[in-house]
């Protein structure tokens, strides 16, 4: 039963004590989120992963790339664990190292890539892509620091190659005053990304053709409908939403920013939120004195975040008690070293 499951999770956590820290992303379902010792958005969780040296195990309730970052940034004696190996991120899978290397080579035939282009990978990417950025003078960004990171990048070189999320790249560039015509889309399946040499030479940001299948479900018409229904409502969206949606929002931000904006607002405030359903539902339950609505009329849920369930959490914990580490996330040493260069560059920027 659920009660039994809960009791066993509580007991297992108590038995492990400080040896195991549970990190929980804001999109985790409530039945898992409630057991997290520390919660946050990707940036906060990446920092926290390196701040609990007393824990031998970092049990990551989130998706694969987050557990990889925890492995890379934690101390050598610590092990990151992902309770279900099938918890990936479909956006992260839209860019892989051979395709990015191929893109880099093609761009290099037109411009001196190493001197003119800074590669930036969204943290939603595999460790080897972070390594690529580390090796080529680039870095990593998250939804909460993308503007700072882009500003840094333009201080280094004149152009940016941004992958995998075109929307975060475009929304952040637009907020910095970069024109839409200066941001071009690289389609990895087409020769030269489907772009002309003139388009590439004129571009400030070359955006990879990736997106989040959850956030792309939000539509500008949803915002218009809410504004008609609730004039004065505050609309907050995650920057993984499309440009057209983000242009209509009152504020954009990471999951942590969305949570703190809603928490800080006075009772009676009205919000419409464009991000994953589990976070919005949790905020609704936590603050019944505020009116909180989900932007889309249909469910937008991250099915891979949802794979982490209490059963998998318990299984991981009880195996640790039995001395068995199941689903450790171990980034190969060489890859981890270069990815760490990129991540530490990011952490030094913000
Ligand atoms: P945050 O860094 O804002 O938590 O975003 C992570 C994510 O995967 C959003 O889809
Ligand atoms: Fe990836 Fe989208 Fe899920 Fe975030 S919500 S983990 S970007 S698939």
Q: Is 57 annotated as a binding residue?
A: no
Taking only the tens place, the pLDDT of each residue in 23-77 is 999 999 999 999 999 999 999 999 999 899 999 999 999 999 999 999 999 999 9
Q: Is 256 annotated as a binding residue?
A: no
Mean pLDDT, rounded, for 285-311: 97
Q: Quick one: CA dihedral 247, 248, 251, 253, positive or negative?
A: negative
Q: Grade residue 101 by pLDDT with cuts at 50, 70 and 90.
A: very high
Taking only the tens place, the pLDDT of each residue in 237-247 is 999 999 999 99
Residue 117 · residue 95 · CB < 8 Å: no
Mean pLDDT, rounded, for 154-183: 98
pLDDT given for residue 83 in this prediction: 98
Cβ of 91 below 6 Å from ligand 2: yes
pLDDT given for residue 199 in this prediction: 98
**Res. 1: pLDDT tops 90:** no
Pairing status of strand 117-122 against strand 159-163: parallel
Q: Grade residue 207 by pLDDT with cuts at 50, 70 and 90.
A: very high
* DSSP three-state, residue 183: strand
**Res. 310: pLDDT tops 90:** yes
Cβ of 145 below 6 Å from ligand 1: no
Residue 234's CB is within 10 A of a number of other CB atoms, namely 16
| Cα 207 from chain centroid (whole Å) | 17
Taking only the tens place, the pLDDT of each residue in 121-135 is 999 999 999 999 999
**Which one, of 69, 64, 65, 104, lies nearest residue 85 by Cα?**
64
Ligand 1 centroid to Cα of residue 189, in Å, is 26
pTM over 0.90: yes
CA–CA dist 82, 63 (Å, integer):
8
* DSSP three-state, residue 143: coil
Residue 245 · residue 224 · CB < 8 Å: no
Atom 8 of ligand 2 has which residue's CA nearest to it?
Answer: 89
Mean pLDDT, rounded, for 101-115: 97
CA–CA dist 29, 20 (Å, integer):
20
CA–CA dist 37, 60 (Å, integer):
11
Task: Work out the percent of the chain whose per-residue pLDDT is above 70.
Answer: 100
For the chain, give the mean pLDDT. 98
* DSSP three-state, residue 289: coil
Ligand 2 pocket mutation, candidates 124, 141, 255, 273, criterion most atoms within 8 A of CB: 124
List of domains in the chain: 2-88+305-331 (3.40.50.10800), 92-211 (3.40.50), 215-294 (3.40.50.10800)
* DSSP three-state, residue 272: strand
CA–CA dist 261, 279 (Å, integer):
13
The alpha helices in the chain, defined as continuous H runs, are 2-16, 30-33, 42-49, 64-73, 97-108, 113-116, 127-135, 146-156, 166-175, 197-202, 220-229, 243-248, 255-264, 277-286, 310-321, 333-349
Q: What is the dihedral of CA 282, 284, 290, 291, to 10 degrees?
A: 140
Cβ of 254 below 6 Å from ligand 1: yes
Taking only the tens place, the pLDDT of each residue in 286-295 is 999 999 999 9
CA–CA dist 78, 80 (Å, integer):
7
pLDDT given for residue 96 in this prediction: 98
* DSSP three-state, residue 41: coil
CA–CA dist 164, 94 (Å, integer):
6
**Helices 277-286 and 255-264, axial angle in degrees (round to 10):** 20
Cα angle, residue 261 at apex, residues 60 and 217 outer, rounded to 5°: 70
Q: Is 239 annotated as a binding residue?
A: yes
CA–CA dist 349, 145 (Å, integer):
9
């Amino acid at each position: 039963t659920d009660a039994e499951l809960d009791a066993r999770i509580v007991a297992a956590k108590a038995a492990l004590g400080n040896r195991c820290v549970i990190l929980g992303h804001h999109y985790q379902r409530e039945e898992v989120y409630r057991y997290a010792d520390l919660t946050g958005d990707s940036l906060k969780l990446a920092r926290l992963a390196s701040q609990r040296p007393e824990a031998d195990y970092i049990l990551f309730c989130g998706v694969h790339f987050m557990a990889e970052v925890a492995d890379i940034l934690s101390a050598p004696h610590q092990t990151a664990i992902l309770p279900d190996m099938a918890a990936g991120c479909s956006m992260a899978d839209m860019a892989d190292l051979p395709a990015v290397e191929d893109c880099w080579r093609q761009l290099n035939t037109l411009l001196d890539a190493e001197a003119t282009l800074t590669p930036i990978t969204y943290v939603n990417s595999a460790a080897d892509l972070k390594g690529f950025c580390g090796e080529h003078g680039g870095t990593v960004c998250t939804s909460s620091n993308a503007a700072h990171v882009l500003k840094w990048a333009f201080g280094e070189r004149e152009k940016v190659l941004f992958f995998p999320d075109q929307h975060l790249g475009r929304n952040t560039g637009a907020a910095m005053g970069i024109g839409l015509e200066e941001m071009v889309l690289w389609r990895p399946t087409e020769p030269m990304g489907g772009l002309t040499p003139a388009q590439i030479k004129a571009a400030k940001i070359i955006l990879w053709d990736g997106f989040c299948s959850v956030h792309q479900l939000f539509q500008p018409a949803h915002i218009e409908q809410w504004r008609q229904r609730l004039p004065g409502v505050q609309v907050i969206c995650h920057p993984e939403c499309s440009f057209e949606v983000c242009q209509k929002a009152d504020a954009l931000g990471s999951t942590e920013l969305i949570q703190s904006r809603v928490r800080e607002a006075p009772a009676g405030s009205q919000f419409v939120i464009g991000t994953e359903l589990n976070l919005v539902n949790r905020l609704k339950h936590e603050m019944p004195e505020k009116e909180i609505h989900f932007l889309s009329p249909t469910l937008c849920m991250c099915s891979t975040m949802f794979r982490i369930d209490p059963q998998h959490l318990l299984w991981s914990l009880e195996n640790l008690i039995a001395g068995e580490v199941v689903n450790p996330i171990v980034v190969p040493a060489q890859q981890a070293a270069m990815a760490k260069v990129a991540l530490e560059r990011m952490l030094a920027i913000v």
